[in-house]
Amino acid sequence: MAYIIQGDTGDWEIVIGLEVHAQVISKAKLFSGAATEFGAEPNTQVSFVDAGFPGMLPVINGICVEQAVRTGLGLKARINLTSVFARKNYFYADLPQGYQISQYDQPIVGEGELILDLPDGGTRTVGIERLHLEQDAGKSIHDMHPAKSFIDLNRSGVALMEIVSKPDLRSPEEAGLYLTKLRSILRYLETCDGNMQEGSMRCDANVSVRPVGSTELRDRCEIKNVNSIRFVQQAIEFEARRHIDVYEAGGTIKQETRLFDSVKGETRSMRSKENAHDYRYFPDPDLLPLVIEQSFVDGIKAGLPELPDEKKARFMAEYGLNAYDAGVLVAEKASAEFFETVAKGRDSKMACNWVMGDFFAALNATGKTIENPPVSAADLGALIDLIKDGTLSGRLAKDVFALMVETGKAPSVIVEEKGMKQVTDTGAIEAAVDAVISANADKVAQVKEGKTALLGWFTGQVMKATQGKANPAMVNEMLSKKILG
**Are 314 and 441 found together in one domain?**
no
Are residues 179 and 205 located together in one domain of the fold? Answer: yes
Do 58 and 195 fall within a single domain?
yes
Using one digit for the tens of pLDDT, what is the confidence trace for 283-323?
A: 999 999 999 999 999 999 999 999 999 999 999 999 999 99
Considering the domain architecture, whether residues 156 and 198 belong to the same structural domain is answered as yes
Picking from 7-16, 207-216, 261-270, 422-431, which range would have the lowest pLDDT averaged per residue? 422-431
With a CB cutoff of 8 Å and minimum separation 6, the contacts of 104 are: 84, 86, 88, 132, 276, 281
Residue type at position 9: T
Q: Indicate whether 406 and 434 sit together in one domain.
A: no
Q: Residue 312 and residue 336: Cα distance in Å, rounded?
A: 9
Domain range spanning residue 439? 426-484
Mean pLDDT of 211-223: 94
**Could you report the per-residue pLDDT of 123-139, keeping only the tens digit for each?**
999 999 999 999 999 99
The number of domains in the chain is 3
Q: Are residues 243 and 107 in the same domain?
A: yes
Q: Give pLDDT, residue 472.
A: 77
Residue where a domain terminates, one of 270, 299, 328: 299
Confidence of residue 274 (pLDDT cuts 50, 70, 90): low
Dump pLDDT digits (tens) for 322-353: 999 999 999 999 999 999 999 999 999 999 99
Among 370, 399, 418, residue at a domain's last position: 418
pLDDT at 462 over 70: yes
Is the same domain home to 235 and 145? yes
- Of 274, 299, 324, at which residue does a domain stop? 299
Model pLDDT for residues 151-189, shown as the tens digit of each residue: 999 999 999 999 999 999 999 999 999 999 999 999 999
Asked whether residue 294 falls in the same domain as residue 314, the answer is no
> How many of the other CB atoms lie within 10 Å of CB of 178?
24
Least-confidence region, from 76-80, 307-311, 412-416:
412-416
* Same domain flag for 312 and 400: yes
Look at residue 392 in the predicted model and tell me its pLDDT.
85
Q: What is the pLDDT of residues 34-69, one digit of tens each?
A: 999 999 999 999 999 999 999 999 999 999 999 999
151 and 247 in a single domain? The answer is yes
pLDDT digits (tens, 9 = 90+) for 239-259: 999 999 999 999 999 999 999
- Tell me, yes or no, if the pTM score tops 0.75: yes
Average pLDDT rounded to a whole number, residues 267-284: 84
Average pLDDT in the chain: 92
Q: Are 164 and 282 part of one and the same domain?
A: yes
CATH of the domain at 433: 1.10.10.410
Same domain, 365 and 453: no
